[in-house]
Structure formats: structure tokens, C-alpha cells
Amino acid sequence: MRSTQEEEPQDPQLVRLDNMLLAEGVAGPEKGGGAAAAVSAATSSGGMSPDSSLEHSDYKSKLSQIRTIYHTELEKYEQACSEFTTHVMNLLREQSRTRPVSPREIERMVAIIHRKFSSIQTQLKQSTCEAVMILRSRFLDARRKRRNFSKQATEILNEYFYSHLSNPYPSEEAKEELAKQCGITVSQVSNWFGNKRIRYKKNIGKFQEEANLYAMKTAIGATQSEESPHTPNSTGEMKTPSPVFRRDSTAPERTG
DNA sequence: ACTAATGATTATAG
DNA sequence: CTATAATCATTAGT
């Protein structure tokens, strides 16, 4: 016996599909009656914050829909497979009266049928995976629940940006400090500076007033007995606002 | 409703 | 991994 250890070839792609479906609870054991129960439960019991609760219930309901469709189709396929198999078996049996039909041939036929339906199932899994991915990216995308920062936070961030306009790249420590002051996360600070840099560079003219404003603010905060406020020229632009900041590597504050 | 501002994500490169 | 540039999706002003 060569003991063909084929068992189940299962290419890695299919395994990944299965894993993902399982992780998402689509292919796992049946839980709950369905979407309706989850939705009603979530809406009636306002335990969590209204936002996350509502969005999550919506997400779960759609996921449940996908799950139901997936299982229905899967059952249909299996039923069709077995029906077709018995049908073919009957045909073979009928043929065995006029032709010698070896049991091996029967096995091969059955194997072929199963392979075919297996590929169909894989397709179903793939499309289900796609649907889940789309659903995820649609509901778990933080862009959906974006909020503007508080005016104070933007003030602080702008102050830092315009007082470091020549090198607006805050170190990790500075980012943490800013995050703490603004009540946002470090990632949000990074996002803010990334957006600010590119948008400032792209359209310096738009930000001139802002730049002057904050420059003046910081100047006032820094100097107290320098000069009398005589407002030199309040008729037009003050001066050239640093054309383009260059990533100056004069501050390699790398500590980690 | 249309548009600008804005925060977050994606794609690409160093 | 970080920075940039483009793009997306929502908020807010008209």
C-alpha cells in the first residue's frame, strides 16, 4: 500500500478563508436566534454609550444577515451534492446491466462530484469573506465617527505648529505632551501634524493669517518688556512666511 | 443642497 | 516604522 496521505489537500487560501469566517462568527456554531433579537436587545437596554451601541447593533445585524445567507447556501449545496451523487449512482447501476462497472469507477465519479461541489463551496466562502470585509471596512472605519477637536485643542496644536514652523516634527515625547494637553491620543496628534504639514505646504497663502496670528500670540507670551505695542503695519501681509519647511535633522531626539 | 474644513485611512517611498 | 500625498467620509458654514 502506498498509503496515500493525501487526506485533505486544502490549499492555504481556503484555510485562510475558513479562519476568517470562523473568527468573524460567520461559520462558527449557531448562536442566538438571529439579527432581530440582537437589535431589539441592543436598542432596549441602553447600557453602553448610545453611539457605539447603535452602530454595533447595525453592524451585527448585517453580519447576521450574511451569516444566514451563508449557511442557507451551504446547506443547499450539500443537499444538491448528495442528491446529485445518488442520481449518478443510480445511473451507474442501471448501466451496470449492459456494461461492467467497476467499484473503482464509482468511487472516482463520486470523488469528482465532491470536488466540483467543494470548489463551489469555496467560491461561496470567498464571496462571503468579501462581503464581511466590506462590512467591516464600512462600519469599523474611524472616518465614520469623526469629530472635530475642541477649539482649545486646535489652539494648542496650532501654537506648537507655528512656533516650530521651521521644523514642525514633534518628537514622541512632545507628541505625548500635546496629546495629554489636548485630550486626544498620540496617533491623533500625529495625524493632525501630518495633515497640517501637507496642507500648509500646499497652500501657504491660506494659512498666512493664521500663521501671523499664532506667531504674534507666542511672541506676546514670550516677551513682556521688550517694546511698546505700536503695530507696525496692519494694512497688509507682514512678511514672508517661511517658504517651505525642510525636515531639519538638527534635532535627532531619538531615544528609543 | 453645495462647498470648505477637517480628521482618518490608504498607498507609496525612504 | 515614519513622512508624504492623495483620498475618503463627516462636520459645519453658505
Where do the structural domains in chain A lie, given as residue ranges?
12-145, 151-222
CA-to-C1' span, A161 to C12 (A):
24
Distance separating alpha carbons of residues A143 and A113, to the nearest angstrom: 46
Would you say the C-beta of A194 is within 7 Å of strand C? yes
Q: What is the mean pLDDT of chain A?
A: 79
| Closest alpha carbon to C1' of C4, residue | A198
pLDDT in tens, A99-143: 888 889 999 999 999 999 999 999 999 889 888 888 887 788 888
In the predicted structure, residue A214 carries a pLDDT above the cut 80: yes
Listing DSSP states for A167-234 in one string gives S----HHHHHHHHHHHTS-HHHHHHHHHHHHHHHHHTGGGGHHHHHHHHHHHHHHH-SSS-----S--
Pick the CATH number of A151-222 from 3.30.70.260, 1.10.3260.10, 1.10.760.10, 1.10.10.60: 1.10.10.60
pLDDT at A211 over 50: yes
Instruction: Say yes or no to pLDDT of A84 above 80.
Output: yes
pLDDT band at A35 (very low <50, low <70, confident <90, very high): very low
Residues 6+ apart with CB under 8 A from A43: A53, A54, A57
Q: Which tens digit of pLDDT belongs to each residue from A153-201?
A: 999 999 999 999 999 999 999 999 999 999 999 999 999 999 999 999 9
- pLDDT of amino acid A136: 80
What pLDDT, in 10s, does the model give residues A40-49? Answer: 444 444 444 5
Among A122-136, A171-185, A209-223, A224-238, the least confident range: A224-238
Q: Does the CB of A154 sit below 7 A from strand B?
A: yes
Please name the nucleotide lying closest to A199, CA to C1'.
Answer: C5
User: What is the percent of chain A where pLDDT is above 70?
Assistant: 73
Which of the nucleotides in strand C have any atom less than 7 Å away from a protein CB atom?
A: 3-12
With a cut of 90, say whether residue A246 has pLDDT above it. no
Three cell numbers, residue A174: 512632545
